[in-house]
Amino acid sequence: MTTLAAALKTLDAAFEVGFALSPARDVFVRRADATLTCHGEQVDLGVVYDLRLWHPGAEFHWWWDQDERDGRSWITTDDEFKEHLDGQRLIRGAVRECDGEWSLVSDGHSQPLWVPVKVEPPGRIVVGVREYLARDGHGNVGVVAERLTELRAYIKFDENAAVVGVVAERLTELREL
């Protein structure tokens, strides 16, 4: 049987940030060896049924298979897929407070969520995502896998500033001709 604790003991130290799901609550975590913590509080590994830990180059995923009564784990990397798309997913809510390297995100409706990245209030946080694509026999493209890549502050795209930047670059190019 592959327990979560056993799987964590064999894992590379680079997998230090992640997300754990349990019946009582879902939390972002930091990992040190075979221990997971959420904002300083140790997470009970015995109740976690789904865990994703990541770094920019790979994601470790552990899942408790109730039918087999065993844990399964795998690591997803770019080596397995030819095509990918990078994106981001906005975490619902805004940062209400910071405590060290943790930010408390709240939307006023759901339970507040501690996220292991420092973002000043009232900032927002995104999770970087890499989606892997494959083509079927008819040429249709679909997402066949994904991995999480990072947590970072959300930076709102300013379309006007982007246009001004492109125009300024083009003017510089034209002047050099």
The residue that leads in pLDDT, 13 or 68, is: 13
163 inside domain: no
70 inside domain: yes
118 inside domain: yes
Q: Which residue has the tokens 């784990």?
A: 73
- CA dist 33 and 11 (Å) reads 8
Residue 104 has pLDDT above 90, yes or no: yes
Residue 96 domain boundaries: 4-153
Residue 167 has pLDDT above 90, yes or no: no
- What pLDDT was estimated at residue 177? 64
160 inside domain: no
- What pLDDT was estimated at residue 169? 75
Dump pLDDT digits (tens) for 2-54: 899 999 999 999 999 999 999 999 999 999 999 999 999 999 999 999 999 99
Q: How confident is the model at residue 79 (pLDDT cuts 50, 70, 90)?
A: very high
- What pLDDT was estimated at residue 159? 59
Residue 162 has pLDDT above 80, yes or no: no
Number of domains in the chain: 1
Q: Average the pLDDT over each of 30-34, 69-73, 169-173 and give the range with the smallest value.
A: 169-173
172 inside domain: no
Nearest to 50 by CA among 32, 69, 71, 30: 71
The answer to whether 31 and 47 have CB atoms below 8 angstroms apart is no
Dump pLDDT digits (tens) for 110-159: 999 999 999 999 999 999 999 999 999 999 999 999 999 999 999 886 65
Residue 1 has pLDDT above 80, yes or no: no
pTM of the model: 0.84
94 inside domain: yes
175 inside domain: no
167 inside domain: no
